[in-house]
Structure formats: C-alpha cells, structure tokens
Amino acid sequence: MTRFIFITGGVVSSLGKGLMAASLAALLQARGYRVRIRKFDPYLNVDPGTMSPYQHGEVYVTDDGAETDLDLGHYERFTGVPSRQSDNITSGRIYQTIIAKERRGDYLGATVQVIPHVTDAIKEFARADVDGLDFVLCEIGGTVGDIESLPFMEAIRQLRNDLGRANTVSVHLTLVPYIAAAGELKTKPTQHSVRDLTSLGIQPDVLVCRSERPLPDSDRAKIALFCNVPKEAVIPALDAKSIYAVPLQYHREGLDSAVLNAFGIEPGPSPDLRRWADIMDRVDNPEGEVTVGVIGKYTGLLDAYKSLHEALVHGGMANRVKVNIRWIEGELFEQPNSDVAAQLEPCHAILVPGGFGERGTEGMIESVRFARERKVPYFGICLGMQMACIEGARNTAGLSGASTTEFGPTNEPVVGMITEWMSHEGLQQREAGGDLGGTMRLGAYPAHLSGNSHVSTIYGGSEISERHRHRYEVNVHYREALERGGLAFSGMSPDGQLPEIVERPDHPWFVGVQFHPELKSKPFDPHPLFASFIAAALRQSRLV
C-alpha cells in the first residue's frame, strides 16, 4: 500500500519546502522505505522550460526529458531516486490536457469545470506511477491562500477521503518570526496559516516551524494547542549552515518519527544516517580549499546555477576541500578596459556553464583562451563546450569568423542548429522558426568515449549516458580542423554524428561536454567529472 504525504507551505514562500520534502524522503529512505517525491506547481506555464532563469532559477532536466522545477534536483540529490516526467505537474499542463480533451469532444457535452475536471486530473497525476512505493511525498508549490493553488488544495482534501485518512498525512511548513522590538518569537502567523488550511478542509498532522531562534517549549505547546496537533508533531526548524545538515537536523527534531506516528506506524529504531554524517564531516572539516571561477550570464541569481553549485560542492567533498566559487558575468570581460587576467588569476580552475543567447559569450570565449594558454583547468558545460570549440576554431585552427548560428548568420558555423536527430522516440525533426517550448534535445542520451581519452579514464569506462538540454550542436564537419588545433573529439553520439565531449590532450585538464553532468551529481556520489575537475584545481592551487 502506497501512503501519501502532502506538503504545503504557509506565511511566506522560500522557507525551504523543497529541502524539507527532500530531507524527509531521505530520512524515510534511511529507515528502509521506498520513496518518491512529486512537485505540483500552480503556475500556468506548461513547464518551466520557457521561463527565464531569473524568474524561476534553473530548469532541472530528467532522464526521460522533462524540463522541471529545480526542487526535483534537491529530491534527486537527497534520495538518489532519478526523477521522471511524472514527478512534476503544473496548472498549465493540466489545463492544456483538459482543453485538448474538450476540443476533441471527449467530455460528451458536459460542462468542463475546476471541480471535478481539474481536481480529478490532479488526483490522477498524484496516484499514477506509484507501484512498489511505500511513500509518495507531494509538495505543493506556493503558499496557502494563493488563488492559483486552490484546485490543488481541494484535490488534496478529496484525496484524503478517497485514499482513507490512515493513508495520508498532511505536513505544513510555516514561519515563526522573531520580533526584535518585543524580543519574542511570534506564533500568530502560524495560527493564521493553519486556520487558512483548515478552512479548505485540510487539518495538518505535522507542523514544521522555521525560525531563526530556538523555539521555546511553551511556544511549541501553544502552537500545538491552537493548531490542533500533538506537541511532538510541532517540529522546530532552525536555519542550517549547510543544506546537507538539514536531514540530520530534522531527524534530531523528530520529523520522521512525527510523520510515521501520524500514520499510526511505530517508528522503531533510529535510521542509519552514517551517509549524512560522513557528508557533514567533509563539509565541516575540509583539508584545503580551491577557488573556481564560473563565467556565466545569470550570476546575479544563484538559483539559476543550483545543480552546478551543488556539483562543485560535491567535487569538493570527494577531495575533502572547500570550494569557493567566484561568480563572474561574461559581459564583464567585454568592457573596453576589462582585465581578464586580473579576474582569473586568483582562480585555480575555470568553468563556463550552460546558457542561452549571445550576451556575455565573447567574455566566455576570452576565459577559455585564458585557461587554454595559461594551462589552468577548464570545464565547459553545454554552452561552455560550444564556446571552447569556437575559441579553438578562432585561435588554434585559423577560422577567425567561427561562431554559432544561435547568435545569427555566420560563414563558419562551428556550432549550428540541430534539425534532425534520433531520440528514444525515433527521428526528431525541428524547424528554425518552430516553438521554443519543449523542442530541445532533452533528457538522457548515450555517448561513446574514445579508448585512450582523458574522459574515459575519468569515467572508468567508454559508454556513458548523460542528460541534455540544448538546441545547437558542435558541427561534426569541423572535427578535423579543430583536432588539428589540438581539440580532440573524445566523446561522440553512438552514430558518430553529434560531438558530446571535447578535450585538449596537451593541457592538464581541459574538457568540454555537451550535456549537463551537474544534474546527476549527489553528495554521497559526486559526479566523476566534478571530482576530477576539483582534483585538478587542487593540483593547480599547489602550483601557484
């Protein structure tokens, strides 16, 4: 029997609902349960794929090619369970499906309404694809009281009846603010938020109270009394110094036992949390530090590079070092008197991450040149690989006009729009002026690595599968010219048509990948490319 945990938030957003869901799932998993986490997003975009990274942070891509909310990245990093298309739904996707059905005449003349049609679609999504699972955690985006989230709340209320009260638990995350003038924590916002939730027919079973000061026992008792939950089910949640400390902290505060108790399950012995203790030991006791310069274009909002940031931290954990990241806007290097060397010399390694559009890319190309010439470790991811190829074409292969068709017409399309490729679903075809949503090469694709390449040593094998999200590809027709310039094509798609990895054999560490390895890195299983890159940064730090 699969049980459902519904997670809602109140008072304000950004309280760390996604991290709480991920941590609770990790704790249940450590107790031997099979878990899955889902995100319900109330906005009207069909998926976050078309949203600016400044609006919504990173778009997290799953193996099966879904463009999803960045919370799914936390879920996967904390549980190791690969997310799927069926783990993220938006109001936009629900309405899209319902309206398509209505146009086909599938509703046989009925009036199509929020209740029951939208709520039924939400319930169907929650219950699909749950075979073999003990717990499905459903996180509802937004905060209680938002107009957009009402159909989701109503669907939860109904599901609690459909599935039986014993099989569902409602966890509500709130804020207990500290009011400096009064010198006190205030429980009133939590009381109001729970009142809003109960007015929608949902009585929370567990309350998680975020606060910046320890919650006194008397406040815990007061919240329990006013909100109609047992005192042990009021879980204090203080700010943590690292996101990886959160599962241990929630366990100490009794979150996993409170949830199991709410289901009527005897929690039993403490779970085995050695994995998390080891991670925190690496965070707390680094044996050195390195600085990585990231030359990107959304550096003003770090959520835009969430998985990248975490993967670099994991690379640090693998080497027991602290990774300092120096975020640099590519545009900075395009200004007339910008001193690239002065900015990059303090960095022990340089990384150009994924991105879209031309802004800042000349600065990225300058950074690649710096890394190549100075023999500083370089890691190019997606756009960063494309920029490494353009830099190589311009400065080592004599193709001064090299560019990508993404930035406009060019005579040397070293990177070009891909209009045809094979996916799991067969031949994919695109037109230059087609829709932007959902039309990239998305999801997991295999690559074959050449026998004696650096990357085959790093991966410890020659067959890999990594996740993609891009519309343009390095043009295989330039392979020979680029290889003459020292850039080896060491990873290719199985049909040999799409360059997946380039590297410079005459450089200490220079790798460009067309995919996003950061999406698969985990704190307990750092991605080999990031572990190797940080090891190279560490060697570099000992040289300078």
Judge whether 382 counts as a catalytic residue.
yes
Secondary structure (H, E, C), 250-273? HHHCCHHHHHHHHCCCCCCCCCCC
The distance from CA 481 to its chain's CA centroid, rounded to whole angstroms, is 36
State in angstroms the smallest separation of the CB of 212 from ligand GLN.
36
348 or 469: CB nearest ligand GLN: 469
From 454, 507, 518, 527, the catalytic residue: 518
Q: What is the rounded CA–CA span in Å between residue 178 and residue 427?
A: 58
Among 242, 277, 287, 296, CA closest to 535: 287
Structure tokens at 81: 């369970």
Give the C-alpha distances (Å, rounded to integers) separating 408 from 71, 259, 417.
34, 55, 11
Q: What is the DSSP letter of 229?
A: S
CB of 383 to ligand GLN, least distance (A): 4
Instruction: Decide: 41 and 49 in contact? Cβ < 8 Å.
Output: no
Three-class SS state of 60: strand
518 belongs to the catalytic site: yes
Please identify which of the residues 382, 391, 412, 448 carries the catalytic annotation: 382
Name the minimum Å distance from CB 238 to ligand GLN.
36
Nearest one of 257, 326, 238 to 289, comparing CA atoms:
326
Residue 396 dihedral angles phi and psi, to the nearest 5°: -125, -10
User: Which CB sits closer to ligand GLN, 194 or 312?
Assistant: 312
Residue 543 makes CB contacts below 8 A (sequence gap 6+) with: none
Range 124-132 contact pairs with CB under 8 angstroms and sequence separation of 24 or more: 125/38, 125/40, 125/86, 125/89, 125/94, 126/4, 126/38, 126/40, 126/155, 126/159, 127/159, 128/86, 129/84, 129/86, 130/2, 130/36, 132/34
Question: Nearer Cβ to ligand GLN, position 297 or 448?
Answer: 297
- Residue 522 pairs with which residues in a beta bridge? 525
Facing residues of 120 across strands?
A: none
Q: How far is the CB of 232 from ligand GLN (least distance, A)?
A: 46
Which residues of the shown chain bind ligand GLN in the complex (CB under 6 A)? 354-356, 382-383, 406, 469-472
Q: Which residue has the tokens 């905060």?
A: 143
Report the residue number, 33 or 421, with the smaller CB distance to ligand GLN.
421
* Phi, psi torsion values for 135, nearest 5 degrees: -135, 135
Q: How far is the CB of 384 from ligand GLN (least distance, A)?
A: 7
Which CB sits closer to ligand GLN, 264 or 300? 300
Q: From the CB of 63, what's the least distance to ligand GLN, in Å?
A: 16
Shortest Cβ distance from residue 441 to ligand GLN (Å)? 8
Nearer to ligand GLN, 141 or 517 (CB): 517
Give the residue numbers annotated as catalytic, written as ranges.
Answer: 382, 516, 518
